[in-house]
Amino acid sequence: MRRVSRIAVAGAATASLALALSACGGTSTEGGSSSDSDKGLAIAYDVGGKGDQSFNDAAYAGLEQAKKEFGYETADIEPTEGETDADKQQRLESLAKQGYNPVVGVGYAYAAAVKGAAEKYPDTTFGIVDDSTVQAKNVADLVFSEEEASYLAGVAAAKSTKSNVVGFVGGVDIPLIHKFQAGFEQGVKDTNPKAKVLSQYLTQTAEEGGFSSPDKGKTAAEGQIEKKADVVYAAAGLSGQGVIEAAAANKVWAIGVDSDQYKQEALAKYKDFILTSAMKDVAKAVYNLAKSVEDGKPQTGIVRGDLKSGEVSLSNSNPKFADDADVQKAVETAKEKIISGEIKVKSS
């Protein structure tokens, strides 16, 4: 059904925005009308952009589902190198001004931009993925218990290692990625106290390329593999592709993140070495926000996905993982204990 409330179009898109959208191929549309009533979900990508086979691509999958189901016009916009918070806010405001609703910033880096844009466009619903600091009546904070899926990844790593050495590669040294590390290390140690976890961060800031540099990921993984790591888990966005490449080249296991990386076309030649992926359903979160607006009951506040809700999980696409009864039993037991509260997973 058509949504209950929409903002009026404040004016035509500026020439500069139209040029930007055209240049990056960022806008996808469906249907012939561009009136306000036919505009729906818009997303602005995080570092790495579309094609990261991970976080951003999951958000795009949610947009595509909404576009197909609701038959409205959507937009997806790439980031630009060296952009400021003001640039991000202008991007979100331009989308809101054109009539898109909801407008989602994909990634914690959009916090300041979402806060500012939401104040200027109170009748538009905004979403931000992986941040819970923006408190406003028209903002949904789409967050996940990544540490829970990472704990299960740790269980899988601990049951799969033969060297008793496993690795963790984080993209950027920030609290969000600390959750992945903490859960993974706890899962490993709880399952195999003899196992050693080698942990490394690629950069201190996202601007240094921690989430967008496969070469950095590859080098880090190679260093851990030289130290006998035979399972390496990456929480590093696009950089994780380098980790997976290094694992495949050395015939050891990689564990993917965010999306089911075993199924990603760009990683197909490495998939036999992708044990599993610690997933968070960004696609579902983005789609659910769009549906809530479409239904006239927009989500706001903190919206959390966890193991209990099924929005974080471990993938079973690799038959070698899915058919390993011992590993599957250990993972399922851990999952049940986390959901029941018997296991408290650390987030830092």
Task: Read off the pLDDT of residues 133-152 as tens digits, 9 standing for 90 and up.
Answer: 999 999 999 999 999 999 99
The domain boundary residue, chosen from 82, 109, 144: 144
Judgement on whether residues 214 and 225 belong to the same structural domain of the protein: yes
Cα 325 to Cα 346: distance, rounded to the nearest angstrom: 27
Count of positions (residues) in the chain: 348
Which domain covers residue 192, as residue numbers?
146-280+318-340
Q: Are 86 and 124 within one domain?
A: yes
Give residue 15's pLDDT: 31
Residues 6+ apart with CB under 8 A from 120: 93, 96
Residue 1 pLDDT class (50, 70, 90 cuts): very low
Q: Same domain for 191 and 248?
A: yes
User: What kind and span of H or E run contains 62?
Assistant: helix 55-70
Question: If pLDDT is split at 50, 70 and 90, which confidence band does 37 have?
Answer: low
Residue 231 pLDDT level (bands cut at 50, 70, 90): very high
Closest to 301 in 3D by CA, of 146, 148, 131: 131
Domains of the chain: total: 2
Spell out the alpha helix ranges (H) of 203-306. Answer: 214-226, 240-249, 282-294
In contact, 77 and 43? CB cutoff 8 Å: yes
Same domain, 160 and 105: no
Compute the distance between CA of residue 252 and CA of residue 244 in angstroms, rounded to an integer. Answer: 9
Q: What is the enclosing helix (H) or strand (E) of 41?
A: strand 39-44
133 and 184 in a common domain: no
Q: Within a domain: residue 313?
A: no
Q: Where is the domain boundary, 82, 115, 144? A: 144
Point out the least confidently predicted range of 17-21, 64-68, 172-176, 287-291. 17-21
* Residue 209 located in a structural domain: yes
pLDDT at res. 335? 98
- Give residue 148's pLDDT: 98
335 part of a folded domain = yes
Whole-model pTM? 0.83
pLDDT tens for 79-138 read 988 889 999 999 999 999 999 999 999 999 999 999 999 999 999 999 999 999 999 999
User: pLDDT band for position 8 (50/70/90)?
Assistant: very low
Phi and psi, residue 217, nearest 5°: -65, -40
- Predicted confidence (pLDDT) per residue in 200-220, tens digit: 999 999 889 999 999 999 999
Same structural domain for residues 61 and 159? no
pLDDT at residue 49 tops 90:
no
Residue 62's pLDDT is what? 96
Q: What is the CATH number of the domain that holds 262?
A: 3.40.50.2300
Q: Provide the mean pLDDT of the chain.
A: 89
